[in-house]
Structure 1
Amino acid sequence: MLKDQQVGAVLPAQDIARARAYYSEKLGLEPENPDDDDNLQYRCGDGTGFFVYQTSNAGTAKNTQMGWTVSDVKATVQELRGKGVKFEDYDFPGLKTEDGIATMPDGSAAAWFLDSEGNILSINQTG
């Protein structure tokens, strides 16, 4: 019943104004509901989207919470770095980043960054 339905992510923010500024200035996204002061609704490619709401729980998750699929991770990382986005470096068994990008055995690639609220976000390129 759900497999053919659209799905979207929900992200927490301690400071909704700070989150709005980050998503606009760093990621080039504008909310669909610019007049709301306690939540933000964003639309991205192919009708997908995500919701940001104000809560004191923001930044407590230690896992990737949302990601975008891009055609070129390296170019996207470079563009976002130009806007001040800082990418994370990881060195775990089976996952090591070089210059912020992990290349997987199947040829796919990924990079991770934190938003203004401490949420872990990713960009991904299939192999």
Structure 2
Amino acid sequence: MLKELHTVLPAADLKRAQSFYHDALGLDPDEIHEGTLVYHVGSGSVFEIYETSNAGTAQNTQMGWITDDLDAEMSGLRERGVVFEEFDIPGMKTENGVVTAEDMKSAWFRDTEGNFICISQTI
């Protein structure tokens, strides 16, 4: 039976990615292996970043975070240099970086390696 989710993200430059996750998100890896950083966050959530030349090629959300206050999270991230994506496609239009649906609002940004990261809040 599936029990826990473990996200894996690619990075072309592992040191650059580590700096981004530290400086922008305030996260430091709990484990460092050759070519891999492992982060334990929240209650049982784990993600790792590994070095590879195919980083930045995905055009979809690769990791999502849940927050109780999207506006505050975005404000803090913007202060640390994070730029949120703007979308105007059928079924999805952002206002100030935020898409609002019936029961959720979400915002996306890219890390230094081109990975799409989403932050969402239930409303």
CA distance in 2, matches of 1:97, 1:72: 17
Unaligned runs of 5+ in 1: none
CA distance in 1, matches of 2:103, 2:69: 12
2:93 partner SS: strand
Identity fraction in percent = 48
- State the match for 2:22 in structure 1: 24
Please report how far the alpha carbon of residue 60 of structure 1 lies from its aligned counterpart in structure 2 after TM superposition. 0.1
Per-residue CA deviations over 1:71-105 (Å, capped at 9, x if unaligned) read 0111111110011000000011111111111111x
| Amino acid paired to 1:125 | Q
TM-score, normalised via structure 1 length: 0.93
For 2:36, the aligned partner's letter is: N
SS in 2 for 1:76: helix
The reply on whether 1:9 has 2:7 as its aligned counterpart is yes
RMSD (Å) for aligned C-alpha atoms: 0.9
TM (norm. structure 2) is 0.96
Once residues 100 and 59 of structure 2 are traced to their aligned partners in structure 1, the CA distance between those partners, rounded to angstroms, is 21
Give the 4+ runs in structure 1 shifted more than 3 A. Answer: none
Secondary structure (helix, strand or coil) at the match of 1:51 reads strand
Unaligned ranges ≥5, structure 2: none
Do the aligned residues in 2 keep the contact of 1:33 with 1:41 (CA within 8 Å)? yes
Structure 1 contact 26–83 (Cα < 8 Å) conserved: yes
